[in-house]
Amino acid sequence: MTTTGRHRGRIALVTGGSRGIGRAISRRLAAQGALVAVHYGHDHAAAERTVKEIEADGGRAFAVHAELGVVGDAATLWTAFDRELAARDAPPGLDILVNNAGITLPRTIEQVTEDDYDRVFAVNTKAPFFITQQALVRLRDGGRIVNVSSGATRIAYPAIVAYSMTKAALDHLTLSLAQHLGPRGITVNTVAPGFTETEINPTLRDPQIRQALAGASVFNRLGAPADIADVVAFLAGDDARWITGQCIDATGGVHLGL
């Protein structure tokens, strides 16, 4: 990737930034000049690999570990973030927060247990809520918050009902925060991916499933992580200064018609 100056001098945090869509977002923001904190929950090797890829491309990044969905996860993340910034003599604070981390739950309502429900909400909804809450004292005026949701919030998809509910809650967080933080010049937006090809989606190894999901898009292909990363990078930049409280559909036109 060629480094550009769109985000030069800015500090970004991408949750779930070591793999899949998060990895693409981390790399894109770093390629545009940001110092990127690549958060990971479990896969240290993936985080280090993403940091090395960014550095090889001429960017700057560091890994931050915090398991999400457990008590104190937000505090753990921000303590690690502050410590890593200080270790690099970087100025304290934050310019861009991307709430990307999440887990799925491919079960219908009949199959979802209370433990399942609590877990998916803890990671997908509670964690970004409190991560954002604790980010506000660090986030500079004029900063950016981008929440990664899902196209499933506008489509009836019973097979992932609890997951879709977590993302719908995140969509409302975007709306309320945009109103709340507007006086500080902070924009808050959502990006909603559709069927996206990542290494952590095992169902895509089945040719029939791949074909069916690709066919749901008007472009007759699966999304690539870079398709989502480009939208996030735009919303995180100055060109999107007049956009806030919006959900940007980045599904490739999934299920636009009958």
pLDDT digits (tens, 9 = 90+) for 217-251: 999 999 999 999 999 999 999 999 999 999 999 99
Instruction: Please state which of the ranges 42-56, 190-204, 218-232 shows the lowest mean pLDDT.
Output: 190-204
User: Considering only CA atoms, which of 134, 135, 154 is closest in space to residue 144?
Assistant: 135
Instruction: Please state which of the ranges 2-16, 55-69, 145-159 shows the lowest mean pLDDT.
Output: 2-16
Which residues form the catalytic set? 163
Cα–Cα distances in Å, from 231 out to 165, 191, 193?
Answer: 23, 7, 10
Tell me what the mean pLDDT of segment 177-206 comes to: 92
CA atoms within 13 A on the CB side of 228: 31
pLDDT band at 201 (very low <50, low <70, confident <90, very high): confident
Q: What is the pLDDT of residue 160?
A: 95
Q: What is the pLDDT of residue 4?
A: 72
Q: Are 188 and 181 in contact (CB under 8 A)?
A: yes
Give yes or no for residue 186 having a pLDDT over 90.
yes
Give yes or no for residue 215 having a pLDDT over 60.
yes
Q: Are 103 and 124 in contact (CB under 8 A)?
A: yes
Tell me what the mean pLDDT of segment 27-38 comes to: 98
Q: Are 193 and 163 in contact (CB under 8 A)?
A: no
Collapse the DSSP code of 173 into the 3-class scheme (helix H, G, I; strand E, B; otherwise coil) and give the result: helix
Give yes or no for residue 110 having a pLDDT over 70.
yes
Give yes or no for residue 118 having a pLDDT over 90.
yes
Cα–Cα distances in Å, from 97 out to 48, 100, 107, 143, 159?
Answer: 20, 9, 30, 8, 30
Give yes or no for residue 188 having a pLDDT over 70.
yes
Q: How far apart are CA 246 and CA 140, in angstroms?
A: 21
* Owner of token pair 């909804």: 125
Q: Report domain 11-250's class.
A: alpha beta
User: Considering only CA atoms, which of 150, 157, 198, 152 is closest in space to residue 174?
Assistant: 150
Q: What is the pLDDT of residue 3?
A: 54
Enumerate the domain spans of the chain.
Answer: 11-250
Percent of the residues in the chain that have a pLDDT greater than 70, as a whole number: 98
Considering the entire predicted model, what is its pTM?
0.96
Q: What are phi and psi of 58, to 5 degrees?
A: 95, 10
Give yes or no for residue 1 having a pLDDT over 60.
no
For 6-35, give one letter per residue: b (16+ CB within 10 A) or e.
bbeebbbbbbbbbbbbbbbbbbbbbbbbbb
